[in-house]
Chains A and B, each alone.
Chain A
Amino acid sequence: MLIENTIILSHRLLKGGYRLLTLKSKRIAPMVRPGQFVHLRLPSPADAVLRRPFSVFRAQAGRLAILYKTVGKGTQAMATLCAGDEINILGPLGQGFPNVRKDTLPLLVAGGYGMAALYLVAQRAPVKGIVFVGGAGADDILCADDFRRLDWDVRVATEDGSAGKKGLVTRILDAWLNKELHGRQPEFFACGPNGLLKAICKRVGRGGWDGWISMDRHMGCGLGACLACVQKVCKRDAAGRETWAWARVCTEGPVFACRDIVWD
């Protein structure tokens, strides 16, 4: 974990208000593992007292890319940054996804730009798998071609039917699991809205499979000190009874095993 002043190499507007930010990062980029995140210090607004956490999309050869959507004042300020501008980053932070095993079929499930957090999983996997991605419309399906270039099978669902099958991503996933799993051992890697993550954990639990989800929470320091981004996880007390404890999404997460999450 380091603090690094990086230079913006490019900052591209994609469809649907999404942006791709590429940074020159000699020190942090080579350390990033799939599912880890970086904490960005935005030069403005001047009164912002928190950094902003972003999953790493791509990390290679001294470059680090982030895919984001302008949703609040922080990302709006971020959108005005140009190539050549300096940006201070802290990272890599958190526990990422475990390595993909050779003896399983990796299934990546993403909602919207959650797909970005899964790219390194696919890129570094020893076997090819399937990506299920969903979004409100075609504009929310962002990096499908990046996965296809890795020879991964990409299945798309949109709520308005403007790309892929109409409906939620869980619908195409369920159809696939029913018809095409053929007794293979799947392992799930998911990133997206809470509803999707919960739905994946339900299926993983039912099937008795392994699954990993990347969680998104309001984050403060990113270092495990402020205890803002906590999530309930299973724990056994001294008497062996099942209870829960807080885990810090920034430190013990953002990736958790499906079986460990306590859903409220």
Chain B
Amino acid sequence: MNKPKPDLSVRIGGLVMQNPVMTASGTFGYGPEFARLMDLNRLGAIVVKGISLKPTQGNPTPRLVEVPGGLLNAIGLQNPGFDGFVRDYLPFLRHYRAPVIVNIWGHTINEYASIAERFNDLPGVHGLELNISCPNIKHGGIAFGTDPKMARRVITAVRARTRLPLITKLSPNVTVIAEFARIAEACGSDAVSLINSFPAMAIDIEARRPILANITGGLTGPAIHTIALKMVWETARAVKIPVIGMGGITSAREALAFIIAGASAVAVGTANFSEPLSTLAVIKGIEAYLVRHRLPSIRALVGTLETGAVIPKPRGPGRPCA
């Protein structure tokens, strides 16, 4: 007799996903880049590269360098802008059943709020990911993600203008990431995703010059996984909204670690560059794990970490959003 397949579906705010595996923004383009190699409908959700109101050229080259266990990038959020995305990519994405989450960013609170509003009632867009954590742009980006007051203001402004499920993407470049997760929760975010890349740099010692044209960049890949895991664990204990874990997932093993630590869903990033089918392998591996551990659903695994010790929860409820 065939055993029933485990239920992989998860819910993030109002968004229902058939499985917990998403693509991390900036590592999967806008979808068509990978569609010739895989069926995008098998993904939990497609998170597209960050979109701003106006087209953005990004940084000069070199923009990318491989470092031990990771990747350093300073692309600078190059994107076709809202109009370009709607014209060039959205019609393509509408052919798929997988929910589409648009990562948005701006230089000012007004820009964030304006772009968020423009995605209301746009068929084919199922959620927004608020990028307040990109280390590679000079103004905006990470400045909103590392200052609690700024974070509160930008999340509140965006929440007021969007009717879509809202995920706030957090920066790891803070002392206590859970504090920012609580701000996101208090200000109406439906979920938090973490982590974005770590500010980092690499130097060509022969030339005595930075390898990246932008001098510094963001570190991603296996090197950051265990740091991300600790941050996801701390965050999941501090908020009631779903947590989406990301950072150095190359196989189901890291994805499952995030889920056990408390993440309701995960995103695969840098691994898409070396193994374009990584997301599918992660989905398959998660399913096999649930079967092997006789778990009826992925939800039964979320936050099941046994520490064998009584660890006090992080301090009480966050301050109300003002």
Interface residues, chain A, CB within 8 Å of chain B? 1-3, 41, 47-51, 90, 217-218, 220-221, 223-231, 246, 251
Give A51 to B68 CA distance when docked, in angstroms.
14
Contact of B71 with A50 in the complex, beta carbons under 8 Å: yes
Is B41 on the interface with A (CB-CB < 8 A)?
A: no
Selected contact of A221 from candidates B68, B69, B222, B272, CB within 8 Å = B272
Whether the pair A220, B64 counts as a contact (CB closer than 8 A) is yes
Smallest Cβ-Cβ distance to A224: which chain B residue: B33
B interface residues with partner A (beta carbon < 8 Å): 26-29, 33-34, 36-37, 49, 57-58, 61-66, 68-71, 73, 75, 78, 221-222, 270-277
Task: Tell me, in angstroms, the Cα distance from A182 to B277 when the chains sit together.
Answer: 54
A224 surroundings in chain B (CB, below 8 A): 29, 33
Would you call A49 and B63 a contact (CB within 8 A)? no
Q: A41-B275, A50-B71 are in contact. Are A3 and B61 (CB under 8 A)?
A: no
Contact of A47 among B37, B69, B73 (CB under 8 A): B69
Chain A residue nearest to B74 (CB atoms) is: A228
Looking across the interface, which residue of chain A has its beta carbon closest to that of B69? A47
Give chain B residues whose Cβ lies under 8 Å from the Cβ of A48: 66, 274
Chain B residues whose C-beta falls within 8 Å of the C-beta of A51 in the assembled complex: 273-274
Looking at the assembled complex, report how far the CB atom of B134 sits from the nearest CB atom of chain A, in whole angstroms.
Answer: 13
Given contact pairs A49-B270, A228-B64, A3 touches B37 in the complex (Cβ within 8 A): yes
Q: Which of A218, A224, A229 lies at the interface centre, i.e. has the most chain B CB atoms within 10 A of its CB? A: A218
B49: which A residues are within 8 A, CB to CB?
225, 227
B285 to chain A, nearest CB (A): 18
Query: Are A230 and B73 in contact, with the CB atoms below 8 A?
Result: no
CB distance from B57 to the nearest CB of A (A): 7
> With A49-B71, A226-B64, A228-B64 in contact, do A221 and B276 touch (Cβ < 8 Å)?
yes
Query: Cβ of B28: which chain A residues have Cβ within 8 Å of it?
Result: 225
Most buried by B among A1, A49, A225, A251: A49
Query: B221 — which chain A residues lie within 8 A by C-beta?
Result: 49
Nearest-Cβ distance from residue B25 to partner chain A, whole angstroms: 11
A50 to B68, CA, bound (A): 11
Chain A residues with CB under 8 A of B37: 1-3, 223
Beta-carbon contact of A49 and B61 below 8 Å: no
Closest chain A CB from B158 CB (angstroms): 25
Do B71 and A230 have beta carbons less than 8 Å apart?
Answer: no
Q: Chain B residues near A49 (CB, 8 Å)?
A: 66, 69-71, 221-222, 270-271, 273-274
Q: Is the Cβ of A90 less than 8 Å from the Cβ of B78?
A: no
Beyond A47-B69, A221-B272, 15 additional pairs, beta carbon < 8 A: A1-B36, A1-B37, A47-B68, A49-B66, A49-B270, A49-B273, A90-B276, A218-B65, A220-B71, A223-B29, A225-B27, A226-B26, A226-B273, A227-B63, A228-B73
Select from chain B the residue with minimum beta-carbon distance to A2: B37
Task: Please report the C-alpha to C-alpha distance between residue A226 and residue B73 in the assembled complex, in whole angstroms.
Answer: 9
* Chain B residues in 8 Å Cβ range of A217: 61
Which residue of chain A has the shortest Cβ distance to B30 in the bound complex?
A: A225
- Closest residue on chain B to residue A218 by CB atoms: B62
Q: Which of A50, A223, A229, A246 contacts B57 (CB 8 A)?
A: A246
Q: List chain A residues, Cβ under 8 A from B57.
A: 246
Q: Is the CB of B34 within 8 A of A225?
A: yes
Distance in Å: Cβ of A97 to nearest Cβ of chain B: 22
Query: Which chain B residue lies CB-closest to A249?
Result: B61
Q: Is the CB of A227 within 8 A of B75?
A: yes
In the A-B complex, the 6 residue pairs with the smallest Cβ-Cβ separation, listed nearest first, are: A225-B29, A228-B64, A225-B33, A221-B273, A47-B69, A223-B33
Q: Contact between B275 and A220 (Cβ–Cβ < 8 Å)?
A: no
CB distance from B268 to the nearest CB of A (A): 13
22 residue pairs from A and B, CB less than 8 Å apart: A1-B36, A2-B37, A3-B277, A47-B70, A49-B270, A49-B271, A49-B274, A51-B274, A217-B61, A218-B63, A218-B64, A221-B273, A223-B33, A224-B33, A226-B73, A226-B75, A227-B58, A227-B78, A228-B73, A228-B75, A229-B64, A230-B58
Within the assembled complex, what's the spacing in Å between the Cα atoms of A225 and B70?
18
A50 touches B273 (CB 8 A): yes
A225-B272 Cα distance, complex, nearest whole Å:
9
Q: Closest A-chain residue to B75, C-beta based?
A: A227
A218, B69: Cα distance in complex, Å: 17
CA–CA, A227 to B79, complex, Å?
Answer: 9
CB contacts (< 8 Å) of B222 on chain A: these are 47, 49
Query: Contacts of A2 on B, CB cut-off 8 Å?
Result: 37
Rounded to whole Å, the gap between the CB of A108 and the closest CB of chain B is 27
Q: List residues of chain A with CB within 8 A of the CB of B62.
A: 218, 228
Task: Determine the distance from Cα of A146 to Cα of B64 in the docked complex, in whole angstroms.
Answer: 35
